[in-house]
Amino acid sequence: MTLKAAIMRGKRSVYEDFWALDEVSFEVPVGSTFGLIGSNGSGKSTLLKCLSKIYYPESGSISAYGKLAALLEVGSGFHHELSGRENIFLNGSILGMSKKEVTQKFDEIVDFSGVEHFIDQPVKNYSSGMYVRLGFSVAISVAPDILVVDEVLAVGDAEFQEKCRQKFIEFKNAGKTVILVSHSMDTVQQMCDKAAWLKNGRLVQVGEAAPTIQAYLGSLTTGSV
């Protein structure tokens, strides 16, 4: 917003409120994997950002029972000139882990990322795949009760994706809750127990994953809600 716009706002310009999300209420059972589906611009990412306390809803409330961690982007806060090792500690503390925790999990993180040989190299020399793998490995090691994931499963090569899938299954078996956004219906179908379908910021359907996905896909082919 420019100064001019701010001054003008009180006078002549007219603006319309846009509600990115409205009347969206649902519960996510503990220990379930919950998928959010919908077309572009339907408010999925906004909802995730609200869940992860990046945005704050103007009205309504969100209650989380347990430690929540969000994986909206991998490698947040990486510094290009610093080494992989330094970045693991930096990124870990950004994600809310203590130095002790990171030290404990360090080997696990490095092992999972598969960049052992280059851990003391500056991350700017990493391939883009290595970069996201390292970022993902740190993020996944946060060990929250609830994990919020935005379309980041699609990182790395097939082998790494398989590793991630394993990690999520492990996570689920440990009784943790996962909330994820994906455009890949196969992923949602495979991983989620329940799903919610958003359209233009409103909740259309929520319930068991399979029928919700069916309804969503059905609306795409017929062109009606």
Interacting residues with another protein (CB under 8 A): 1-3, 6, 49, 52-56, 70, 72-73, 76-77, 79, 81-82, 86, 89-90, 93-96, 98-99
- Comparing CB distances to another protein, the nearer of 6 and 14 is 6
Q: Tell how strand 68-71 and strand 202-208 pair up.
A: unpaired
Q: Least distance in Å: CB of 37 to another protein?
A: 21
Helices 128-140 + 158-173 axis angle, to 10: 10
User: CB of residue 55 vs another protein: minimum separation in angstroms?
Assistant: 6
- Tell the burial category of 193 from Cβ atoms under 10 Å away from its Cβ (0-12, 13-18, 19+): middle
The strand pairing partners of 49, in sequence order, are none
| Of residues 94 and 169, the one with the C-beta less far from another protein | 94
Nearer to another protein, 44 or 194 (CB): 44
Bridge partner residues of 181 (DSSP): 36, 150
Cβ at position 70, least distance to another protein in Å: 7
> Which residues in 89-120 are b (16+ Cβ under 10 Å) and which e?
bbbbeebebeeeebeebbeebbebbbbeebbe
User: Cβ of residue 189: shortest distance to another protein, in angstroms?
Assistant: 27
- As measured in angstroms, the least distance from the Cβ of 195 to another protein is 24
Nearer to another protein, 62 or 169 (CB): 62
Question: Among 225, 65, 170, which Cα is nearest to 162's?
Answer: 170
Least distance from C-beta 82 to another protein, angstroms?
A: 6
Q: How many whole angstroms from its chain centre is CA 123?
A: 23
- Rank residues 122 and 129 by Cβ distance to another protein and give the closer one: 122
Question: In this structure, what token pair is assigned to residue 168?
Answer: 């999520």
Nearer to another protein, 114 or 144 (CB): 144
Structure tokens given for 78 = 């990486």
